[in-house]
């Protein structure tokens, strides 16, 4: 089943087109990487997919999320899709998380909403156990401290794990990860990528992974779409697109990534 089907999407502000005639689709359990330079329209595409575009951006075309049309839909019609059909992990969790709310409570809120959606109830003790179970699943240490901490009191990698736990709490069919490792050091980045890959596979979720980093996308995705100046210039299996790129822009990206990797190799 196709969870996300974007067809002929054009996003404009005034007379300027920011995304042009973009089409892509993600089926259940599929992992798609959306790659491109800064300003190419990657994050705007993700916001359009969940119906959270800024009010001054005009959307044309079609976006079907779990069979429901997003473009032109009322906010009250989109709310049931967020969490059940799709959840999002944003680039910088320090701004995505509430700075005035303890971490444990922030994880508890989507859990409680999901149980209400399913017609179930959790008492306070059961909810606390569920929160701890989620934090253990995202490999957070010292959970007693973290559940009582504010976001600024924990590290960037720990904040990103909290954001992933909140997304998992919703049990979405599709997870959108918008450059979730950009602000992290290399070691933490690798841990988060492995965690995401494992959780997506274990939960049978589809994944839309947005990045400007080819090796990162190759690590987590099976298909890729290359976006340049708001247009998809190439898409297909990761091995084909990165192994034998057809478009000049993709060849440039692959060459730059290879040159960067070579520069990091230790001298012989």
Closest to 159 measured CA to CA, from 132, 126, 127, 192: 192
What pLDDT does 35 receive?
A: 94
Model confidence pLDDT, tens digit, residues 18-66: 999 999 999 999 999 999 988 899 999 999 999 999 999 999 999 999 9
Token output for 205 = 């979720």
Strand locations in the chain (E): 2-13, 16-27, 31-36, 58-65, 68-69, 86-89, 174-178, 206-211, 223-228, 231-237
Q: How much of the chain, in percent, has pLDDT values that exceed 90?
A: 62
Q: What backbone torsions phi and psi does residue 13 show, to the nearest 5 degrees? A: -130, 115
What pLDDT does 186 receive?
A: 81
Please state, in angstroms and rounded to a whole number, the distance separating the CA atoms of residues 113 and 193. 27
Please state, in angstroms and rounded to a whole number, the distance separating the CA atoms of residues 148 and 154. 11
Please state, in angstroms and rounded to a whole number, the distance separating the CA atoms of residues 140 and 142. 7
Token output for 1 = 């089943």
The model's pTM is 0.89
* pLDDT category of residue 200 using cuts at 50, 70 and 90: confident
Q: CA 241, 190, 193: angle at the middle one, nearest 5?
A: 60
Exposed/middle/buried for residue 254 (C-beta within 10 Å: 0-12, 13-18, 19+): middle
The answer to whether the beta carbons of residues 208 and 175 sit under 8 Å apart is yes
């Amino acid at each position: 089943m196709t969870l996300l089907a974007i067809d002929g999407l054009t996003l404009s502000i005034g007379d300027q087109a920011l995304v042009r005639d973009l089409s892509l689709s993600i089926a259940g359990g599929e992992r798609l990487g959306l790659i491109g330079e800064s300003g190419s329209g990657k994050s705007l595409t993700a916001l359009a997919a969940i119906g959270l575009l800024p009010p001054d951006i005009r959307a044309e075309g079609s976006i079907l999320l779990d069979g429901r049309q997003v473009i032109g839909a009322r906010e009250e019609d989109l709310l049931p899709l967020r969490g059940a059909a799709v959840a999002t992990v944003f680039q910088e969790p320090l701004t995505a998380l509430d700075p005035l709310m303890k971490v444990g409570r922030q994880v508890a809120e989507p859990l409680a909403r999901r149980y209400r959606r399913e017609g179930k109830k959790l008492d306070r003790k059961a909810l606390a156990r569920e929160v701890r179970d989620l934090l253990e699943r995202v490999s957070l240490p010292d959970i007693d401290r973290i559940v009582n901490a504010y976001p600024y009191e924990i590290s960037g990698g720990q904040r990103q794990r909290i954001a992933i736990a909140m997304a998992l709490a919703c049990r979405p069919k599709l997870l959108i990860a918008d450059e979730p490792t950009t602000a992290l050091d290399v070691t933490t980045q690798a841990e988060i990528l492995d965690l995401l890959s494992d959780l997506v596979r274990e939960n049978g979720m589809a994944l839309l992974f947005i990045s400007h980093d080819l090796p990162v996308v190759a690590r987590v995705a099976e298909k890729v779409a290359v976006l340049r100046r708001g247009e998809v210039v190439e898409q297909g299996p990761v091995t084909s697109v990165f192994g034998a790129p057809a478009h000049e822009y993709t060849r440039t990206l692959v060459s730059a990534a290879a040159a960067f990797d070579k520069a990091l190799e230790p001298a012989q």
